Chains A and B, each alone.
Chain A
Amino acid sequence: MFGPGLWRYGGMLDPMREMQRLQREMNRVFSGMGQPLHEELPPVNVWVGEGDAVVTAELPGADPGKVDISVVGDTLTISGFREAARLGEGESYHRQERSHGRFSRSLQLPFHVEAGKVEAKYDRGILRISLPRAEADKPGKISVKCE
C-alpha cells in the first residue's frame, strides 16, 4: 500500500542499509557486472522541522517536466520516467549501470501536508520538495493553569 513510514534513528546510518551497501560493494568487486537495474529509485532523505518537512531525492538526469509529485493527506508520491540513451546505428553499450524506466515512490510523512503550498525545485540532479504542515494538523498549545 503506502511506502515505508518514517522510522527514526540517531544518525544517518541504518545498519541494515550499511550491510546492503557493503553487499553491493562486494558484488561490484567480484562480478564487475555493474549494478542491477531494478533498484528502488530514487533514494530520498527526509528532514522534518516544526512547521514543515523537506524531502530531497537524488534524480540525476531527470526531465523536471516529467516528474510528478502528488500529496494526499500525509502521503507524498514522487513518480516519473527516466529515459535511457537512444542508441543510433552501429552504437553499442560497453557498460550500462545507470537505471532507467518508470519509477514511483510513496512516503508517509509524520503529519498532514498543506497540499496547495507544496513547492518543488530541481537543481543539479537533486529534487527538493518542501512540504508545509497543514494548519489543522498543527499541535494546539495547551496552557497549564495554576489553581
Chain B
Amino acid sequence: MDSKIDYEKKQAPVPVETERTRNRRVYVPKVDIVETGSGMVMYADMPGVDEKSVEVTLEKNVLTITGSVETEALAGRSMAYAEYDVGDYERAFTVSDEIDRDRIDAVVKNGVLKLFLHKLPQAEVKKISVRTE
C-alpha cells in the first residue's frame, strides 16, 4: 500500500493563506530605494528576467513587482555544484499617496529592474509651516 497519500482532510490556517498556482520557488529580490528631490528610484536585483518576464503593478497603494525566470537545463551536462536556485521573484511595497500613479517608469537592464516613481506636483508644494506660540 502506498502510505504517502494522505486521506485525512487538512485544516486550513486562519486566515487562509493564498498559494501560488505554480509550484515554484519564489524569491524576494533585494532592493535599493533612493529618495530623490522629485520622487523615488527603486533598483531591484532580479537576475534572469528581461522586459517580457517582469511585471509591475500598482493597486490602490500597493506596488508589486514580479518576475519569472525559466529553469535552465543544459543538455548533456549534470549539475555538480549549486549555490543558487532558479525561481520567480515577488515583492510588494506600500507607497504613499504622494506618488503620481500615472507616471511610473520601469526599465530593466542586466537583470536589474529600475523603477522611477514621481511625486505629484501638489504634494511637492504641500508643506505645513510650524510656528511657535
Contact = CB atoms under 8 A, between A and B. Distances in A.
Nearest to B49: A124
B32 A90 contact: no
Interface stretch (B15-23, B76-84, B98-106, B119-127): B76-84
B33 A94 contact: yes
B81 A6 contact: yes
Given A6-B80, A110-B80, A47 B34 contact: no
A94 B31 CA distance: 10
Interface string B72-98: 101011111111110000000000000
A97 interface: yes
Contacts of B81: 6-8, 44-46, 107
B76 A60 contact: no
A23 interface: no
Interface residues of B, number: 34
Interface residues of A, number: 45
Contact of B82 (A12, A49, A91, A110): A12
B23 to A, nearest CB: 15
A106 interface: no
Interface in A47-74: 47-50, 52-54, 56, 58-62
A54 B77 contact: yes
A61 B111 CA distance: 6
A88 interface: yes
Contacts of A17: 83
8 contacts: A14-B82, A49-B74, A49-B76, A61-B109, A90-B36, A93-B35, A95-B31, A95-B32
6 interchain residue pairs of minimum CB distance: A125-B111, A49-B77, A125-B47, A60-B111, A43-B83, A61-B112
